[in-house]
Amino acid sequence: MGEFELIRNYFAAAPCAQPGEGVALGIGDDCALLAVAAGEQLAISTDTLVAGVHFPDGCDPFLLGQRALGVSASDLAAMGAKPLAFTLALTLPDVSAHWLQAFARGLNEMAQGCAMRLIGGDTTRGPLSLTLSVFGSVPAGLALTRGGARPGDLLCVGGPLGDAAGALPLVLNQRSTEASTTQALLARYWSPQPQLALGQALRGKATSALDISDGLLADCGHIALASGVRLLVERDKVPMSDPLLAFFGPEAALDAALSGGDDYRLAFTLPPSLLAELLGEGWPVCVIGRAVEGQGVVLIDEQGQDVTPSTRGYQHFRETR
């Protein structure tokens, strides 16, 4: 089966592949065409996932499709962009109709949840890997970058951290636990929910933002560096879920929350005066620290003592085994 047929059979027929808002021309020509509304800019991000590095060989293709697009869409959330479309470059060792159907189903489910349309891509033969590019729109000048945090800003995250890292022993079948905990943690790993609405709500309010993929402390380091501030993270304010605490215990749970990565929650800085309004509107804003003069990221305890761990994060899937 040729590459064109592959794409057509399994992806182009999906309802989300039809032209729609922002998509002037979808799959099937030399290029897709996006129409960007006047006053809007186009946000673009590209991620590659390699079998055995970013996900286990032989993992469920439905979950892989869902996770791959969720992870990519999270970059749009981090910019405050509204999702429009995505491309998929899929490299496969062989053609399995069952695998492709399940993968496309997972991809489409996440695409519908994010209101994104598949507009093109490539299918090639080779070792299993996928590269997704995602496209969203954001009003010119309102994109959330990493570079605007100012001393005095609050440091916030969009919800409990560490669940995806906590799920790894389950993903790898290294440990087991009760069904409800297993289900809660695996859902956070396989179906990350990009915080798209929160990102858009933070436009014009957050002074910096990113999505946590490499671990809270490592990613806060990106904000600190780009903004030229020091970020203080209060250890006792880092939010963690009950399933993670039950499965890992408080100490390992905190490690997972600080350094585990794969959270795909937003981290952002906010002038204190804007906090009440966001909380009043029901947005999940957890204050975990603040920006001060200086550089770097420091974890502090209740007394303000530096308790920063020596390792701070980000390991590819393979490196965690």
Q: Which of 13, 18, 28, 250 binds a second copy (CB under 8 A)?
A: 28
Q: CA distances (Å), 155 to each of 229, 275, 293, in order?
A: 11, 11, 14
Q: Which of 261, 277, 265 is nearest to 195 (CA)?
A: 265
Q: Which of 129, 181, 195, 269 binds a second copy (CB under 8 A)?
A: 129
260 burial via Cβ count (<10 Å: 0-12, 13-18, 19+): buried
Number of residues this chain uses to bind a second copy (CB under 8 A) = 62
Q: Of the two residues 133 and 191, which places its CB atom closer to a second copy in the complex?
A: 133
Q: Of the two residues 75 and 184, which places its CB atom closer to a second copy in the complex?
A: 75
Kindly indicate which of the ranges 38-46, 175-183, 185-193, 294-302 contains the residues binding a second copy, using the contact rule CB under 8 A.
Answer: 38-46
Q: Which of 13, 44, 97, 307 binds a second copy (CB under 8 A)?
A: 44
Q: Of the two residues 9 and 182, which places its CB atom closer to a second copy in the complex?
A: 9
DSSP class of 21: T
| Residue ranges in 242-261 that form contacts with a second copy under rule CB under 8 A | none
Applying CB under 8 A, does 16 fall inside the site for a second copy? no
Q: Of the two residues 29 and 236, which places its CB atom closer to a second copy in the complex?
A: 29
Q: Of the two residues 83 and 243, which places its CB atom closer to a second copy in the complex?
A: 83
Query: Angle at Cα 123 formed by Cα 118 and Cα 125, nearest 5°?
Result: 160
Q: Which of 174, 155, 289, 310 is nearest to 234 (CA)?
A: 289
- For residue 242 the two structure tokens come to 């009950």
Q: Which of 241, 231, 250 is nearest to 289 (CA)?
A: 231
Q: Of the two residues 125 and 321, which places its CB atom closer to a second copy in the complex?
A: 125
According to DSSP, the residues that pair with 273 across neighbouring strands are: none
Applying CB under 8 A, does 94 fall inside the site for a second copy? no
Question: What is the C-alpha to C-alpha distance for residues 187 and 268, in angstroms, rounded to an integer?
Answer: 24
Q: Which of 146, 157, 154, 142 is nearest to 274 (CA)?
A: 154
Applying CB under 8 A, does 211 fall inside the site for a second copy? yes
Contact 278, 270 (CB under 8 A): yes
Q: Which of 13, 33, 292, 307 binds a second copy (CB under 8 A)?
A: 33
Applying CB under 8 A, does 14 fall inside the site for a second copy? no
Applying CB under 8 A, does 87 fall inside the site for a second copy? yes
Q: Which of 61, 65, 120, 260 binds a second copy (CB under 8 A)?
A: 120
Q: Of the two residues 102 and 210, which places its CB atom closer to a second copy in the complex?
A: 210
Shortest distance in whole angstroms from residue 314 CB to a second copy: 8
Token pair 């389950």: residue: 170
Q: Of the two residues 70 and 166, which places its CB atom closer to a second copy in the complex?
A: 70
Q: Which of 131, 124, 57 is nearest to 91 (CA)?
A: 124
Phi, psi of 154 (to 5 degrees): -80, 145
Applying CB under 8 A, does 115 fall inside the site for a second copy? no
Q: Which of 13, 21, 125, 292 binds a second copy (CB under 8 A)?
A: 125
158 burial via Cβ count (<10 Å: 0-12, 13-18, 19+): buried
Residues, the chain: 321
Question: What is the C-alpha to C-alpha distance for residues 199 and 73, in angstroms, rounded to an integer?
Answer: 11
Range list of β-strands (E), 176-263:
208-211, 230-234
Q: Which of 6, 10, 45, 200 binds a second copy (CB under 8 A)?
A: 45
Applying CB under 8 A, does 25 fall inside the site for a second copy? yes
Site of interaction with a second copy (CB under 8 A): 2, 24-25, 28-36, 38, 41-54, 75-76, 78-79, 81, 87-89, 91, 119-122, 124-127, 129, 131, 133, 135-136, 138, 140, 143, 145-147, 209-211, 226, 314, 316, 318
